[in-house]
Every structure is written in structure tokens, then in C-alpha cells.
Structure 1
């Protein structure tokens, strides 16, 4: 899952954000158990012939689970080489290097073959291109009946505190309710197979607490520069918002199947047959 980089206004900002997040097992909320749950909802089983692309894979949390659980061939894609290098290290330690091939690409210009994939995975990363654009443009890479599994920032209630809404809309204007995301999937040629909300531990234990533990060394490494301090302050603000308003927002995990358009049936003739 590729890290959120809304504050990366220049190369220095991007470099510092990568420095902060590259050491993490996750670059956004998630969990191994939740990846496995999505695999089950997708109806996927162990099959070395499966071809799966993990788009916005970050340092590889979901790619590693997919490879281990399914034995599939995983194409792990992220635009940040530092994240992919960390993924390769982790795959080597786990003995999964032969199943995972990394590619440094932008999700806006993917070098994938049409109708070549059994599944597309993207945990906490599709926001980089936008949910609707992503599900629409990535559909062509799936085989008929192929699976799309993505986690997406989602409102859990119809109304929410102004402070929370202002923050997330400024970061990701496409944030919406699950019903709205389901409608986007259906409109763009998918049938939803499953949906669930990431629990609090996916935010706190798996992402925010490890991130907080890296703040001190990050500031020390970068001499407590003004930019580094601003990055930490922004992350702390987001953490405080989540802790205060966690009942209103989370990531929703959406699992859907690519529909194959039905063939056009010939319109029955209304003319009577000619008599001899």
C-alpha cells in the first residue's frame, strides 16, 4: 500500500516522507488477517497459476500475504523504488522471492496486458488515482470474472463532525460512504462480492503506533528541520483526529468481480412467415 503523500509539494518533502515511511511494514491502515478475509470473500484458493497485481504495494504487506496464502505469481507495483527494495528484502527473508516480481511504475501508466490478471489488489492506495478512475481504468487488465479487491477511505455514518470532514475532504475529495462506492463499482462493470470495515487495530496497532515510534529517529536523522517537523506535526494531527472520531471514518474493503457484458440477442422478427 503506497503511503499517502498529500504534503509532498516538492522533492524534499517527498524524500522526507519516504524516509519516514519506508521503514514501516505498512504505509496505511490494514492487517494480515484482513487481507486473508478479503481473499476468502473473493473466493480465491491456492493456485500457483494465478496472476495477481498488487498496485500501490508499498513495502509489501499485502503482496507477501497473497504470495504465502495463494502461492500465486504477484506483480508488485509502486512508484517508489525504496519501498520496492524493502519488499524484496522481506520476500527474501520469508522465502517468497520467486513469487513476487517488483515494478517501479506509476498507477497512471501501468505496463500491464489487457485481460491478463486473475485479480487486482490495492490496499490503501487507489486514492492516488481516485477510486472511480481506478476501478474504471484497471478493469481492462482483468480476465472475465477477475477479482478487484481494494481498501478505500470510507465514511461510516451519514453525518460526521465538521473538523473531521474538513480534514479528509481536503486530503481526498472522493471520500464517501460505502453505498456510494458500491454504486461506482456497479456502474463500471463489476458485481460486489463482499465488503467489511477495517477494525481499529488496523489503524492503531498496525500503522499509527509503529509510525509514532519512528518520529524521534526521523527528526534526529533530518536535524529536526522545519520540513521534517511539519511532516511529524501533520501525522500527529491525523492520529489525534482518528483517536477522537474513529466511529465516523475508516477504510472499507471492497471485493468485486468483473462482469462480462452479455451478447446482444437478435431481436425476434414480428413478421409472419410467407405461405407457399
Structure 2
């Protein structure tokens, strides 16, 4: 029988002398003191230590390992440890996936969405610290949703929309219905997020107001100017490329603010608060926002909009937010189905036309999913106009 001094046993298993003495105190190994004062151990001690070390790789505590060695394995204990280990592995895998994605080796869409839901302002600041301009950071938050794919995503996105007249649902009839709810003839009008100017033309044709049309996309503003000049309204329309979260115009400058489908970019609750100072006393804010029109929407609709517009809520909630911010509600109505057809039918045709050219485009795939949810679930959600007077 082979015998080992404690130093030899420690070297054989890679443990310290003090650890072995502790294990001996627990009864895991049994040394015998010789007449010369040295303690010696047998192969049995060596093998018990090797078995112990193997059991410890399962994440068991020392006492749990000892219990497994000295009695029948406790399967309930092992099941609990296995469940805990699975949870630890999942957490570590999630950590690894995030670090890889931040290094450009994976997708960040879900992470961006989660952060934006709990810390939207900090998320915006984070994106700007990564080198994105405020304009690009806002587009990333609401359109591409992944900083690793943003440049290609936006190039594809603009390729889809550049040929379209409308960049969102709308109709002349709905714009006029909202305008007719304004209780005075506006003199100074600011349109926030004007796009190519389809609503701008309606507002110019049916008021005598001086109109400031604001957007952060130069190509859209160029199209608006061409349309306005052709329609003979160019002398009453001034364009400005600016960020809606920090509008560089004096307080109390406008008796009417107009924002069709754009307030969601900064958050409707923030828009209600931060745009209010721009209004004159008793001035009016008209905005439209995507809302739920039913208390029991389909699961696929909820899943889609939770990812694409997590702040989406009910009409009642938006009305309560407006009242709490100091507005009087003059009117509220749902955008017509025709307004949606004006938008998504040409968009659908554009998607179909580009599929063979852009088979791997994440932007085209996302737009196609959006069109699909419009076709199948419109009515469970829709745009709601809100005509609000500064109290």
C-alpha cells in the first residue's frame, strides 16, 4: 500500500496543507501519525480527495460533497443546484451576449428597447456619447433600434420612403376636421415634424397663418418648399431644420402648434410639457398619436407594438395626461381608415417592388411586418387626433 506524507498528498491533488488539515478535521480523510511525528495518508485518502474535487465542479458546497461521498446522492438537492446553475448560466450568457453586441458582434435591438423603456433620457445621452448626433440618436431610438446596424438600416429605410408621398397615415379630410376644431383663425402656426408637407399644404390653403414648418430631414423640407411654391403658398411658409426636443424658437411665438404623428419621437407626455411654452395664452396644440382602441387587443398586435412603440397607451390616458399638463380638451377623434390606406397601400407596393433588390434588408423586413399588422389588426389600434387648448 502506498503512503503519502501530507506535503505529498497536497502536491498530488493541488491543495494546500492547511486545506487538507481542515478536511481531516471534517473526517474526509484520515491521517495516521507515525512515531517520527509525521502524518501519513493512504490511496483511499487520495481517491476520496479526487472524488471530492470532481463533485465540486458541479458547484456543490464542501458539506454537500461530503454528503454525496458518505451516503446515497440526494437527488432533490442536486435538482435544486441544477436549477440554480441553469439560472447562473443564463445570466452569464446574457452578459456575454450583451458584451459581444456592444463590441459589434451581435444584435442590440432588444437591449435598446429595454433601456429606452426605463431610462429614455439616459439612453439618448448614451447614444450621443457613442458618437451619434442627436438627430441620429433619435432615429436610432425610434427607427433602426440597433446602433450596430443603424447606418445600413437607415440607408435602406430612406430608400423605401424616398419615393413615397406620405411618410405616415393621414388625409386632407382628417387634417381639416382637426383644424375646424380650433376656435379661432390662427395667425402664427408651427408645424412640428412636417415631413414632405402634405398637411402643411392643407393648413396653408385653409388659413391665412404664417407657417413655420419644422423637420430634421433636409430632403423632406426641400420637397415641402417645392410643393408650397407650386401651390402658391411659398411666401407664407418658412422651413427650419431642428430637433423637436429642443426647438430654437422664442416662447409665446405661436397660437397654433401642429404635430401629426410626430410627438411619439420624444414621448407624448414630454411633448405636452415642453411644447406648451411655445404657445400664446389660449393657444392650441393639435397632435395625433398611435393609441389602443380596444381594451383587449390581439396578442400579436401587443407583441408588435411593445417592441415598436412601447409607450403606446389608450385614448383616456392621453386625455388625462393633457389635462394634467394644463390643457383643455377641445376635440378628440380617430383617424379615418382612408388615412391609413393613403399610407400603407403605397408603402406595401413599395416593399413588394424592392424585395428582390434588398432580400436581406432588416429595414425592409421590419416595414413589411408593420404593413402586415396594419392589414390584420387596424381597428384594434389607430391614430387619434387631440385638439388641446392651453389653459
Please classify the TM superposition score into its range, dividing by the shorter chain length. Answer: 0.7 to 0.9
Within 5 Å, give how 1:1-276 maps onto structure 2. Answer: 5-7=142-144, 9=146, 10-45=150-185, 50-204=187-341, 206-215=342-351, 218=354, 223-224=357-358, 226-227=360-361, 230-259=362-391
SS in structure 1 of the partner of residue 143 of structure 2: coil
Secondary structure (helix, strand or coil) at the match of 2:206 reads helix
> What is the deviation of 1:11?
2.6
Contact 1:51 1:72 in 2 (8 A): yes
Query: What is the count of residue pairs matched by the alignment?
Result: 250
Find the aligned partners of 1:215 and 1:191 in 2 and give their Cα distance.
41
Aligned-residue offset at 1:23 = 2.8
Q: Is the 8 A contact 1:22 1:59 kept in 2?
A: no
Secondary structure of residue in 2 paired with 1:102: strand
Q: Which runs of 5+ in 2 are unaligned?
A: 1-138
Give distance in 1, aligned partners of 2:207 and 2:354.
36
1:93–1:189 CA distance, 2 compared to 1 (3 A): same
By relative contact order (CA 8 Å, sep 6+), the higher-ranking structure is 1
Q: TM-score, normalised by structure 2?
A: 0.61
Deviates more, 1:8-17 or 1:134-143: 8-17
Is the contact between residue 348 and residue 371 of structure 2 (CA under 8 Å) also seen in structure 1? no
Secondary structure of 2:164's aligned partner: coil
Q: How far is 1:22 from its partner?
A: 2.9
Deviation at 1:219, TM superposition (A): 5.5
In 1, the alpha carbon distance for the partners of 2:236 and 2:158 equals 25
TM-score (norm 1): 0.85
When residues 225 and 100 of structure 1 are mapped into structure 2, their CA distance, relative to the original with a 3 A threshold, is farther
In structure 2, do the counterparts of structure 1 residues 150 and 100 end up closer, same or farther at CA, with 3 Å as the change threshold?
same
Deviations 1:157-186 (A, max 9, x none): 112111101111211122111110000000
Pair 1:199–1:254, CA change in 2 (3 A): same
Give 1:226 shift. 2.6
| Cα 1:153–1:72 shift into 2, 3 Å | same
Distance 1:22 1:35 in 2: 23
Cα pair 2:244 2:266 within 8 Å, conserved: yes
Higher fraction of helix: 2
